[in-house]
Amino acid sequence: MICVKVPATTANFGAGFDSLGAALDYYNCIWMEEWDGCWIEILDDTDVPTDETNLIYQTAKALYERCGRPFRGLHIRQENRIPTARGLGSSSACIAGGLLGANELLGRPCELAQLVDLAAAMEGHPDNSTPALLGGFVAAAMEGEHVFWAQCPLPEELGFVAVIPDFELKTADARRALPDQYVRADGVYNLSRSALMAISMAQGKLENLRIAAEDRLHQPYRLKLIPGAEQVFDFFDKQQAYAAYISGAGSTLMGLVPADRMKDICQAARAFLDAQGLCGWQVLGLRAGEGARIVTAEEGR
Ligand code: HSE
Whole-number pLDDT of residue 300: 66
Rounded percentage of the chain residues whose pLDDT exceeds 70:
99
Which amino acid, one-letter code, is at 229?
A
- Among the listed residues 216, 204, 254, the one whose alpha carbon sits nearest the alpha carbon of residue 233: 254
| Residue 282 · residue 83 · CB < 8 Å | yes
pLDDT digits (tens, 9 = 90+) for 208-234: 999 999 999 999 999 999 999 999 999
User: Whose Cα sits closest to atom 6 in ligand 1?
Assistant: 249
Hey, is 44 helix, strand or coil? coil
| Distance (Å, whole) CA 132 – CA 126 | 10
Whole-number pLDDT of residue 80: 94
- What's the whole-number mean pLDDT along residues 107-119? 97
pLDDT digits (tens, 9 = 90+) for 39-65: 999 999 888 999 999 999 999 999 999
| Residue 94, pLDDT above cutoff 70 | yes
Q: How confident is the model at residue 301 (pLDDT cuts 50, 70, 90)?
A: low
| Pocket lining: 125 vs ligand 1, CB cutoff 6 Å | yes
| Burial of residue 101, with CB atoms counted within 10 A of its CB: 0-12 exposed, 13-18 middle, 19 or more buried | buried
Which of 176, 218, 245, 252, when mutated, tests ligand 1's pocket best, judged by the most ligand atoms within 8 Å of its CB?
A: 218
| Pocket lining: 83 vs ligand 1, CB cutoff 6 Å | no
| Pocket lining: 193 vs ligand 1, CB cutoff 6 Å | no
| Residue 209 · residue 194 · CB < 8 Å | no
User: Whose Cα sits closest to atom 7 in ligand 1?
Assistant: 248
Does 129 show up as a binding residue in the annotation? no
pTM strictly above 0.75 = yes
Would you identify the CATH topology of the domain 2-151+289-300?
Answer: Ribosomal Protein S5; domain 2 (3.30.230)
Does 92 show up as a binding residue in the annotation? yes
Whole-number pLDDT of residue 117: 97
| Burial of residue 245, with CB atoms counted within 10 A of its CB: 0-12 exposed, 13-18 middle, 19 or more buried | buried
Where do the domains of the chain lie? 2-151+289-300, 158-286
| Distance (Å, whole) CA 60 – CA 52 | 11
Q: What angle do CA 226, 11, 214 make, to 5 degrees?
A: 70
Which amino acid, one-letter code, is at 46?
T
| Pocket lining: 127 vs ligand 1, CB cutoff 6 Å | yes
Cβ density class 179-198: b for 16+ within 10 Å, e for less: eeeeeeeeeebbeebbebbb
Q: 125 CA distance to ligand 1 centroid (A)?
A: 7
Whole-number pLDDT of residue 289: 96
- What's the whole-number mean pLDDT along residues 193-218? 96
CATH of domain 158-286: 3.30.70.890
**Residue partners of 103: CB distance under 8 A and separation at least 6:** 63, 109, 110, 115
Whole-number pLDDT of residue 299: 75
Q: Which atom of ligand 1 is nearest to the CA of 124?
A: 8
Q: Which atom of ligand 1 is nearest to the CA of 171?
A: 6
pLDDT digits (tens, 9 = 90+) for 241-263: 999 999 999 999 999 999 999 99
| Burial of residue 160, with CB atoms counted within 10 A of its CB: 0-12 exposed, 13-18 middle, 19 or more buried | buried
Does 101 show up as a binding residue in the annotation? no
Mean pLDDT across the chain:
96
Q: Strand pairing of 243-246 and 158-164?
A: unpaired
Q: 202 CA distance to ligand 1 centroid (A)?
A: 22
Whole-number pLDDT of residue 231: 96
Q: Which atom of ligand 1 is nearest to the CA of 18?
A: 1
| Residue 19 · residue 194 · CB < 8 Å | yes
